Structure 1
Amino acid sequence: MLIVEILFLLRDIVIACVAAVWNFLITPKYKDVKDEIVLITGSANGIGRGLALAFARRGCILVLWDIDEAENEKTAQLVTEAGAKAYPYYCDLSKRKEIYRIGKKVQKEVGDVTILVNNAGVVIGKSFLECPDEEIENSFQVNTLAYFWTIKVFLPKMIEKNYGHIVNMSSSLGLTGINKLTDYCSTKFAVVGFNEVLSYELQHDQYDGIKTTLICPQCVKTRMFEGCKLRFPPICPFMELDYVVNKSMQAILTNQYILCLPRLVYFQAVFKASLFNGAKSSCILGIYI
């Protein structure tokens, strides 16, 4: 009956609100990830390398995917020096068939991935009409579609065991659009929606042992955003890499559903929706390149 369904819905909403308040007041204990097989895309530098080293210090087995072989080998070396095993692979994330091929190779050579970190990304940094068609396609292939394909490879084994963790790296720019980042913002908005629906599907099918974490940091001091200038650096400065990595690890280890950095980002969507018709929050919080 409809009334019964509504009552169940209200019950679930109350439970979710109570759980959210509880988690806000009481920090959950970190889970043990020792010997977990962690695959990180975009591991050659930046956040990917930082997360690889953080997982290495916790005794994980690292599978490293990147198109930059030389830098990815350096990441693998750093992971090894930290006392963990590293398996670097060249993988062009713009190619679906290659993702499937390398994914199967990893399962055969290393084992079943239990923590998947979709982190790789590219950015053009031009206004819409200035963006070449090929680069727009590449942005969606790497920043969004690659997330679909990696999860398609590794999720079935997680489902078999009802165990695993999928981490999807989005951005604060996946919540609020910004001038001259047409491709990047669009792909990151898509990741936010994808992560939300994926989480709902796993909950609906009662795979409660498979967790998802969405990470939405503001612009970080990495190679990707070199040349980018913030309009209000004293208020919204570039985020330090170590800070983002540490907060991301905290979110992953406590099974946090979404992490926005800094906390101001949590209010961006509300702020944007609450403005009068015609106002643009990105004009206030905007980034100019």
Structure 2
Amino acid sequence: MNPFLDLLLFLATLIYSYLEAFVKLFVPVKRKSVSGELVLITGAGHGVGRATAFEFAKRQSRLVLWDINKHGVEETAAECERLGATVEAFVVDCSKREEIYSAAEKVKKEIGDVSILVNNAGVITAADLLSTQDHQVERMFEVNILAHIWTTRAFLPTMMNNNHGHIVTVASAAGHFVTSFMVAYCSSKFAAVGFHKALTEELSTLGKDGIKTTCLCPVFINTGFVKNPSTRLGKVLEIEEVVEALMEGILTNQKMVFVPSNQRVALLLERLFPERALAVLKKLTDVKFDAVIGQRSTQ
């Protein structure tokens, strides 16, 4: 193709995409069924993972739940069974690659092929970079991004053979926007967002259009992992509203789910506004939370 025709094709695609998005504002979006799908959720013993398991259970999915906390994951499993779902619970430390691969093999041999993978497990340490201990940095990367890669490598081959599946990355607004006293955490979540985008692109290049991907990016959630979070221009989210948005994203095959959705505007402004204006805007938001500052420990 010559450059002129390439430009015409681009403009035509751009206009079509905008028209399609406009029409979708008035036409109900079709939601897919997840009944009978084998759904594996990491970090299912608490918070977003637990609430997500409940939603899949209500939709007659079969569930495999992983968590490092035995009591928590068993509680989640019991409630999912009460909701009518078939459930298997595993105690898995997602910071350990060997445990992930071992548990994955057990799932494939004893239960079946996972068709929806929800990479939800995550850890956070709120501290300035020099006060964040080495093992805390390592654990954030091991759980928040490396575990996503290991689980995906374990279950993706069957999805590719069937050209069917869905891989969900639970990331964070901290994967797009930075904040002080979360340097390591933000870095791990930026990596998670990058993983989602790169995987999405690779599956498209390979022609695996039956495998969908969704990335969840919420602001602070009331889960207790971050102590006393607050912001002047927004609110701390409740678990239920985050999971509602996540399930809507999965069922309608949305690639990126922001909670609240106005983060899309903030992301655009960050690319358009000069640095000085952004600094003033960040002061207006006045994001606060409890953090360890000035301890300077690396052990």
Bucket of the pairwise TM-score, normalised by the shorter protein: over 0.9
- Aligned partners of 1:56 and 1:83 also within 8 Å: yes
Give distance in 2, aligned partners of 1:24 and 1:136: 42
Tell me what 2:285 maps to: 285
Query: Are the structure 2 counterparts of residues 165 and 286 from structure 1 closer, same or farther at C-alpha, using a change threshold of 3 Å?
Result: farther
Query: Are the structure 2 counterparts of residues 5 and 182 from structure 1 closer, same or farther at C-alpha, using a change threshold of 3 Å?
Result: same
SS of the residue corresponding to residue 247 of structure 2 reads: helix
Give distance in 2, aligned partners of 1:262 and 1:99: 32
- Aligned partners of 1:202 and 1:210 also within 8 Å: yes
- Aligned partners of 1:176 and 1:282 also within 8 Å: no
Task: Confirm whether residue 130 of structure 1 aligns to residue 131 of structure 2.
Answer: yes
- Aligned partners of 2:220 and 2:229 also within 8 Å: no
Per-residue deviation, residues 178-205 of structure 1 (Å, max 9, x unmatched): 1211122111111111111111111111
Give distance in 2, aligned partners of 1:192 and 1:284: 26
Tell me what 1:52 maps to: 53
Tell me what 1:255 maps to: 253
Letter in 2 for 1:231: T
Q: Which aligned pairs between 1:81-230 and structure 2 lie closer than 5 A?
A: 81-225=82-226, 227-230=227-230
Per-residue deviation, residues 54-92 of structure 1 (Å, max 9, x unmatched): 000000011001000111000000000001011101111
Letter in 2 for 1:265: Q
SS of the residue corresponding to residue 193 of structure 2 reads: helix
- Aligned partners of 1:46 and 1:222 also within 8 Å: yes
Give distance in 2, aligned partners of 1:175 and 1:165: 22
Of 219, 243, 247 in structure 1, the residue corresponding to residue 241 of structure 2 is: 243
Measure how far apart 1:277 and its partner are.
Answer: 3.0
Letter in 2 for 1:108: K
Measure how far apart 1:7 and its partner are.
Answer: 5.3
Letter in 1 for 2:260: P
Give distance in 2, aligned partners of 1:190 and 1:112: 27
Query: Are the structure 2 counterparts of residues 10 and 97 from structure 1 closer, same or farther at C-alpha, using a change threshold of 3 Å?
Result: farther
Measure how far apart 1:8 and its partner are.
Answer: 5.0
SS of the residue corresponding to residue 263 of structure 1 reads: coil
Letter in 2 for 1:147: H
Per-residue deviation, residues 87-119 of structure 1 (Å, max 9, x unmatched): 101111111121111111111111000000011
- Aligned partners of 2:41 and 2:49 also within 8 Å: yes
Measure how far apart 1:27 and its partner are.
Answer: 3.2
Q: With the length of structure 1 as denominator, give the TM-score of the two structures.
A: 0.93
Task: Confirm whether residue 27 of structure 1 aligns to residue 25 of structure 2.
Answer: no
Query: Are the structure 2 counterparts of residues 199 and 13 from structure 1 closer, same or farther at C-alpha, using a change threshold of 3 Å?
Result: farther
Letter in 2 for 1:287: V
Bigger mean CA deviation after superposition, 23-32 or 246-255? 23-32
Letter in 2 for 1:150: T
- Aligned partners of 2:95 and 2:142 also within 8 Å: yes
Query: Are the structure 2 counterparts of residues 12 and 287 from structure 1 closer, same or farther at C-alpha, using a change threshold of 3 Å?
Result: same
Query: Are the structure 2 counterparts of residues 20 and 194 from structure 1 closer, same or farther at C-alpha, using a change threshold of 3 Å?
Result: farther
Give distance in 1, aligned partners of 2:160 and 2:12: 27
Task: Confirm whether residue 275 of structure 1 aligns to residue 276 of structure 2.
Answer: no
Give distance in 2, aligned partners of 1:195 and 1:286: 29
Query: Are the structure 2 counterparts of residues 265 and 163 from structure 1 closer, same or farther at C-alpha, using a change threshold of 3 Å?
Result: same
Query: Are the structure 2 counterparts of residues 196 and 21 from structure 1 closer, same or farther at C-alpha, using a change threshold of 3 Å?
Result: farther
Count how many residue pairs are aligned between Structure 1 and Structure 2: 286
RMSD: 1.7
SS of the residue corresponding to residue 225 of structure 2 reads: helix
Give distance in 1, aligned partners of 2:88 and 2:36: 14
Bigger mean CA deviation after superposition, 18-27 or 110-119? 18-27
Structure with bigger gyration radius = 2
Give distance in 2, aligned partners of 1:198 and 1:123: 24
Give distance in 2, aligned partners of 1:185 and 1:286: 18
- Aligned partners of 2:171 and 2:189 also within 8 Å: yes
Query: Are the structure 2 counterparts of residues 14 and 195 from structure 1 closer, same or farther at C-alpha, using a change threshold of 3 Å?
Result: farther
SS of the residue corresponding to residue 207 of structure 2 reads: coil
